[in-house]
Structure 1
Amino acid sequence: MDSSLGKRLSPWSFLLPFLLLFTAFLIVPLLYAFYTSLFIHRMGIAYFVGFQNYLNAFRDVAFWGSIVNVMKYAVIQGVIMLALSLALALLLDTKFARFKAFFRLVYFLPYAVPGVFASIMWGFLYSKPLDPLLQAIHFDPLASGAFLYSIVNIATWEWAGYNMTLYMASLTGVSADIYEAAKMDGCNEMQLAWYIKIPLLRPTIVMTIILSFIGSMQLFNEPFLLEALTPVSQTFAPNLDIYNMAFSLTNLPYAATLSVLLGLITILISVIVMVLTRFLGRTAERRQTTAMAAGV
């Protein structure tokens, strides 16, 4: 009996450190933020108001505008970055690629640069060394119309190599026999990438899509630091709005309310993206199987 109980509990002993950290640094702060959001502060006194802050948040046009803005950023940046990462990974995985270790290191190095330093560096490039060239083509990367795309450029530069490394790591786990069989059937490198490698990378692609979206919803460093160079709306991104609400307007309960809503929105859309991509993947597999059967 004791031996059987020990076998059932042994997996939990390995999970316990993670569960403790997960609870302490995610679950507890979320619960505290939710608790804080149920109050308002007046003259230094906290009054319980229930879900009134949430009702106010649903009518907050500026907050929902920032959500739309950051989702636009997530789509643009995610598509460009992941397409570039996948293209680089597939290119380096071909037999024609040379100096693979060198290029893997070069592409991965920007990820080693902290986001704060990357924002400062690119802000300097936008305003100083690149300024004559940008003026010659009449383009201001810090103007309001181009500001979003300037941040897309920073994030793509920083994260493309990281996602490329994930794709390449997944490709190294594929048996060489699959590639050899495809080549014997007459597949060239382009067909091998399209019909073999990309379908095998589908789980990794789904994971990077979700991680990219979650990271995009947390956008803060780039607009916050570039604010020193150009006027940036405090509602450009949800985290900027929350930061301003908490530390400039000292409205901690409402900032906690917006934080909870942002977390829920991120989780909800991440689940929708995961379910949708899996559905599309299964549909594509079903069509491919049907086409192969028809061909046979």
Structure 2
Amino acid sequence: MRVLFAGTPSVAVPSLDALVDAGFDVVAVLTRPDAPIGRKRVLRPSPVAARAAELGIAIIHATKVDADVTRRLADVKPDVAAIVAYGGLIPKEALTIPSHGWINLHFSLLPAWRGAAPVQRSIIAGDDITGAATFQLEEGLDTGPVYGTLTEAVRQEDTSGDLLERLSRSGAVLLTQTLAAIDAGKAAPQPQQGEVTLAPKLTLEDGRLDWREPALALHRRARGVTPEPGAWTMLEGQRVKLEPLAMRPDIRDLDPGEVRVAGKSVLVGTGSHALELGRIQPAGKKMMSPADWVRGLASVERVVFE
């Protein structure tokens, strides 16, 4: 079976590797163009492009699948297209190129969390169980019939990065099994059933912590937005980045946003009980331990996050 693979970030790499290892003929990779990385804004290929180059697979770079890109996709004559977090819409004209269509690996139990940030939204919402699904790509937003699913427990301290890493590996197996079933003529996709929830792409504002909220909600939000776009708060008019925080239900006498040093711990008040700070990055500085940050505040009598 000739496979076109579409993907961009590191979470798509395990699927590319799994398809190659399973013996599928991956004839080309569709990925987004090189992007500037780091403070020096050096252009670097996407993780999928870098891996495809190592494997000697032809690469098609495209931000948008326009008429020219569609022609290039048709030229490789794929039997099926596998897509994992490509980062762009596939138009109707391109959907019809492979005889078996496009099979999308999505990191949720559809129809829950349709959209660009399913794992992040799942953690923020407090789901205990999430998973992944393979489905037939349609013009609608993650609406196609489902081939297969897997489940994954959301651990108490999981960040979205942690959970995505696990799902990327188990999902790669699911995707390979789905394509094998399609190739053998044994696949039977089923219409999605259940409550639809949406998972739009996270914005910077999604990472802002409102200390008036309960500690549990803040704990979930900080984990859900890590590593991107990251949790943050304001202090004296400047944005301060925060790593995920630990629950401290034994401390309940702090006002929302009020900071207190307790031995080696740095606590902050919420709408319920306190949270304990992990690493913190003040404006213009590197990420540091709470203890190092507090030492720089020796002359400040009372610190309150806004």
* TM-score, structure 1 as length reference: 0.22
Relative contact order, CA 8 A, sep 6+: which one is greater?
A: 1
Greater helix percent: which structure?
Answer: 1
Pick the structure with greater CA Rg: 1
* TM-score, structure 2 as length reference: 0.22
